[in-house]
Homo-oligomer: A and B are copies of this chain.
Amino acid sequence: MTFTLPPYKQPDFTQPPLTDAPLARFVPVESAGVAPQNFHATSIYPEYFQLERGMWVMPEKSRMDCVVVRDGDTLHVVEPRRLAPGDLVCVGRREDGEDGIFVQTEPFGAVDGGAEKFAFRTRMTRESSFSIDYDELYSLLQYERDNGFILWVLGPAVVFDHDSREALARLVRQGYVQGLLAGNALATHDMEAAIHTTALGQGLYSKRSAPLGHYHHLDTLNEVRRAGSMPAAIESGLVRNGVMHAIHEKNIPYVLAGSIRDDGPMPEVMADCYAAQDAMRALVQQATTVIAMATQLHSIAVGNMTPSYTVTTHGVRPVFFYSVDMSEFVINKLANRGSLSARSILTNVQDFLVTTERGLRDWCREGPPPPPEE
């Protein structure tokens, strides 16, 4: 199969009751970081606000659970903590025009056949069939590499295994990773692997415990901090391979968010979690496909800030969100938070990465496989 973008369904504002809708109301902020009462909170969907009679405006870069701030004829979706006194915040909670607000909850038809099929399934479990998801993913990533922006959200388990770390570094070099969100541990253990060929002191391939191996990640952090930065550590030859090496080589933007469980941290890690959240959202706003794996915290954080759509030069298009995890719990938790548009693959991320890298290589060489007859 070859991927094609689904067309966007523009709401028709020329029909009642929308023709009778009032203008959206905006109320100024009084105290910094506090929204007016009855503020409107955004969803993951495209939303329209009637600014003047017949002029319905959609903010281009949305995320859920934020407020809408008017700046002339432009609307911004803003975290409440970032509100300044005087900001004009939309108020009203009805979503079918009654408050001058319209939420488009079915923005796209069947997405390459996928979204529709999804609807037929009741519960996804580890026993769900995932062959088609892999094939659709290959097709999507080929398209996005040239026409979109593929953002990866990664927990450290992806570099705890020799083959998956190699596969991921190859995906970076081949252009399938266009942005990276992670924490301190990913960079630390990736560089531990480069310097010591271990993860937390165990052979990355052999699983042999190295003598004094529990010092490896501490020494890695210390030596990179001594070098002053991760780029300096790479350019000095201290770190000669791996994921962060490839990220550096290809000049891929990334955010490493700090956490209370960090050792070190690496020099590039952001200590302020809300500054990190802002930096992460800046990358999410560019994203057209997000792949989150092996991290509950980051998957949910990014799930919360990823809308179902984005506006590009092609117009309004979907943002695809894949979540890869071993546990039904994480998948259900994402669903319960309202990140409804996520697709999930329940498996070990090691296998997922090795399989995906290989599948993409075959796809490039041989083209898409014919779908099985059914």
Task: Give residues 200-233 of A contacting B (CB, 8 Å).
Answer: 200, 202-209, 212, 214-215, 218, 221-222, 225-226
Closest to A257 in B: B260
Complex partner residue of A338 from B207, B214, B280, B328, CB under 8 angstroms: B214
Interface string of A3-26 (1 = CB under 8 A from B): 000000000000000000000000
Complex partner residue of A199 from B129, B328, B354, CB under 8 angstroms: B129
Query: A88 to nearest B CB, angstroms?
Result: 16
Complex partner residue of A126 from B41, B127, B329, B358, CB under 8 angstroms: B329
> Is residue A179 within 8 Å, beta carbon to beta carbon, of the partner chain?
no
Contacts of A222 in B (CB 8 A): 34-35, 37, 39, 80
Complex partner residue of A259 from B129, B264, B301, B332, CB under 8 angstroms: B301
Contact A264 B81 (CB under 8 A): yes
Q: A205-B372, A272-B271 are in contact. Are A348 and B225 (CB under 8 A)?
A: no
Contact B274 A258 (CB under 8 A): yes
Task: Give residues 336-372 of A contacting B (CB, 8 Å).
Answer: 336, 338, 346-348, 350-352, 354-355, 358, 371-372
Q: A131-B161, A222-B34 are in contact. Are A125 and B332 (CB under 8 A)?
A: yes
Contact B271 A258 (CB under 8 A): no
Contacts of A212 in B (CB 8 A): 93
> Is residue A314 within 8 Å, beta carbon to beta carbon, of the partner chain?
no
Query: A29 to nearest B CB, angstroms?
Result: 11
Query: A334 to nearest B CB, angstroms?
Result: 10
> Is residue A60 within 8 Å, beta carbon to beta carbon, of the partner chain?
no
- How large, as a class, is the contact surface on chain A? 35 or more
Contacts of A326 in B (CB 8 A): 126, 326, 329, 346
Contacts of A322 in B (CB 8 A): none
Closest to A218 in B: B41
Interface string of A126-167 (1 = CB under 8 A from B): 111111101000000000000000000000010011111000
Query: A124 to nearest B CB, angstroms?
Result: 8
Q: A329-B126, A347-B347 are in contact. Are A215 and B41 (CB under 8 A)?
A: yes
Q: A130-B350, A205-B371 are in contact. Are A123 and B332 (CB under 8 A)?
A: yes
> Is residue A300 within 8 Å, beta carbon to beta carbon, of the partner chain?
yes
Task: Give residues 109-127 of A contacting B (CB, 8 Å).
Answer: 117-118, 120-127
- 21 A-B pairs in the complex with CB atoms less than 8 angstroms apart: A31-B226, A41-B214, A81-B265, A117-B208, A120-B207, A121-B209, A123-B335, A124-B332, A125-B332, A126-B326, A127-B160, A129-B203, A130-B161, A130-B348, A198-B374, A257-B260, A259-B297, A261-B300, A262-B277, A265-B274, A354-B355
Where the two chains meet, the residues of A that have a C-beta atom closer than 8 Å to any C-beta of B are 31, 33-35, 37, 39, 41, 65, 79-81, 93, 117-118, 120-132, 134, 157, 160-164, 197-200, 202-209, 212, 214-215, 218, 221-222, 225-226, 257-265, 271-277, 280, 294, 296-298, 300-301, 304, 326-329, 332-333, 335-336, 338, 346-348, 350-352, 354-355, 358, 371-374
